[in-house]
Chain A
């Protein structure tokens, strides 16, 4: 096919090179999503707290993170974390910390919109029942905000999964790196890139299709 030869690929090569990378990409995506949503929610609460001492640092953090290319953030953390904790860490650990910190800024904007989508009356109703601010957030506002924003959070997770390929900048062993290495060793780099594209496409396309279905389902319930 157009000067390409895919016959070099065997199950052996896939299990040896690709699966480990795929596992790291998935692990990085899941940890960064959970960590990002957790810290993102905290940042969103800080920005909506009305207290300047909390709002200002959170706003600076979120807008700062969002105005730098992810590759630069990855390089920053890879440079600074060993410097701050005094010992070298691997590219994989550095990537995990970076993605949690970076995605928290993006998830925080989603959660902020979600919290603001809850009618004020519900907060007042909670207060009238004698709930504290914490109880109100935990029991009334956040569960609904999370539910309303679920499709957007999942869409961001798909983007996150694609962005994990950027750990290429610090040489972490992810899905793309697995294919790249296999391609280099067997002298078929072009075919390896093409296969990587197919794998990413199938995974992301399937996930976004599922999100679309979920969105339709939620829309009917509401």
Chain B
């Protein structure tokens, strides 16, 4: 078998080259993953925090239900639910673009996993920190905002890094509802050009490059927010 990388310079039938199409698709992949990441971290932090509020059993139950619901249904099925079922059940969602529905699906799915990490991070903190904050006269909300969450997020940065890379990989599922992202491009370009190996190689390389970039960004953040002498590498959050 011989290589034919020229295939990327061919016209895809609409006046642009396959290369331009692929770069465009890469942009969609990053857009889906980036937007979902924001949804996932916000909801994950909220639900993870709620699960540690021992004085409010109903909030704990609500957050537990959230985690179990979004963790036990396959992502692809959740994408279908948001894309097909939610707009039918709630007419309000009929005007919402498909991109946003996929972002909800991927974001909420990932939020369940991040919630578990946030909870583990909060519970790994010495209890004294919470008491010290309360003794200073902080309200519970202030204690979380200024003391507990900043520390917990530093602790969970390594697993959060992996989860963010997972989210990027999981964004491939958006192909199933015709979001014009990388996997969708790979399948269509493979069909049209019959140069599957070249197309898949290029797309795989872009996924790996993107995941590596996420990894580097988090490594940089981890270095920047480190508090000297506070968190010993590998000494916290054991087993999660």
Let me know if B173 and A194 touch, CB within 8 A.
Answer: no
What bracket does the count of chain B residues touching chain A fall in?
35 or more
1/0 contact string of B33-68 vs chain A (CB within 8 Å): 000000000000000000000000000000000001
Let me know if A75 and B200 touch, CB within 8 A.
Answer: yes
Q: Which residue of A lies closest to B203 (CB)?
A: A72
Given A4-B88, A67-B208, A162–B74 Cβ distance below 8 Å?
yes
Binds B, one of A15-23, A37-45, A46-54, A165-173: A165-173
Bound CA span A2–B1, Å: 55
Task: Contacts A69-B183, A79-B197, A200-B72 known; list 16 others, CB within 8 Å.
Answer: A3-B88, A67-B212, A68-B207, A68-B208, A69-B171, A71-B173, A71-B175, A72-B183, A83-B1, A165-B77, A166-B76, A169-B175, A176-B74, A190-B84, A196-B80, A200-B74
Bound CA span A32–B73, Å: 19
**Residue A56 at the B interface, CB < 8 A?**
no
**Residue A126 at the B interface, CB < 8 A?**
no
Q: Which residue of A lies closest to B78 (CB)?
A: A197
Q: Which residue of A lies closest to B85 (CB)?
A: A190
Bound CA span A217–B173, Å: 37
Chain A positions within 8 Å of B71 at CB level: 204, 208
Let me know if A193 and B85 touch, CB within 8 A.
Answer: yes
> Which residues of B does A touch, CB under 8 Å?
1, 68-69, 71-78, 80-81, 84-85, 88-90, 165, 169-173, 175-176, 183, 186-187, 190, 196-197, 200, 203-204, 207-208, 211-212
B177–chain A nearest beta-carbon distance, Å: 11
Q: Name the one of A71, A169, A193, A208 contacting B81, with C-beta atoms under 8 angstroms.
A: A193
Bound CA span A2–B175, Å: 28
Chain A positions within 8 Å of B200 at CB level: 72, 75-76, 79
Let me know if B77 and A200 touch, CB within 8 A.
Answer: yes
Given A69-B169, A71-B175, A190-B84, A204–B73 Cβ distance below 8 Å?
yes
Q: Which residue of B lies closest to A176 (CB)?
A: B77
Let me know if B76 and A176 touch, CB within 8 A.
Answer: yes
Chain A to chain B contacts (Cβ below 8 Å), 25 pairs: A4-B89, A68-B207, A69-B183, A70-B172, A71-B172, A71-B175, A72-B207, A75-B200, A79-B196, A79-B197, A162-B73, A162-B75, A169-B176, A176-B74, A176-B76, A190-B85, A193-B77, A193-B81, A193-B85, A194-B85, A196-B80, A200-B73, A201-B72, A205-B72, A208-B71
Bound CA span A57–B46, Å: 42
Q: Which residues from 59 to 114 on chain A have a C-beta closer than 8 Å to any C-beta of chain B?
A: 67-72, 75-76, 79-80, 83
Chain B positions within 8 Å of A194 at CB level: 81, 85
Q: Which residues from 186 to 209 on chain A have a C-beta closer than 8 Å to any C-beta of chain B?
A: 189-190, 193-194, 196-197, 200-201, 204-205, 208
Let me know if A196 and B77 touch, CB within 8 A.
Answer: yes
Let me know if B74 and A189 touch, CB within 8 A.
Answer: no
Chain B positions within 8 Å of A205 at CB level: 68, 72
A129–chain B nearest beta-carbon distance, Å: 31
B76–chain A nearest beta-carbon distance, Å: 5
Chain B positions within 8 Å of A72 at CB level: 172, 183, 186, 200, 203-204, 207
B162–chain A nearest beta-carbon distance, Å: 9
Chain B positions within 8 Å of A83 at CB level: 1
Bound CA span A75–B183, Å: 9
Chain A positions within 8 Å of B78 at CB level: 197
Let me know if A68 and B85 touch, CB within 8 A.
Answer: no
B103–chain A nearest beta-carbon distance, Å: 17
B98–chain A nearest beta-carbon distance, Å: 15
Bound CA span A205–B112, Å: 14
Q: Which residue of A lies closest to B201 (CB)?
A: A76
Bound CA span A70–B171, Å: 11
Chain A positions within 8 Å of B196 at CB level: 79
Q: Name the one of A4, A69, A163, A169 contacting B74, with C-beta atoms under 8 angstroms.
A: A163
Given A163-B74, A197-B78, A69–B207 Cβ distance below 8 Å?
yes
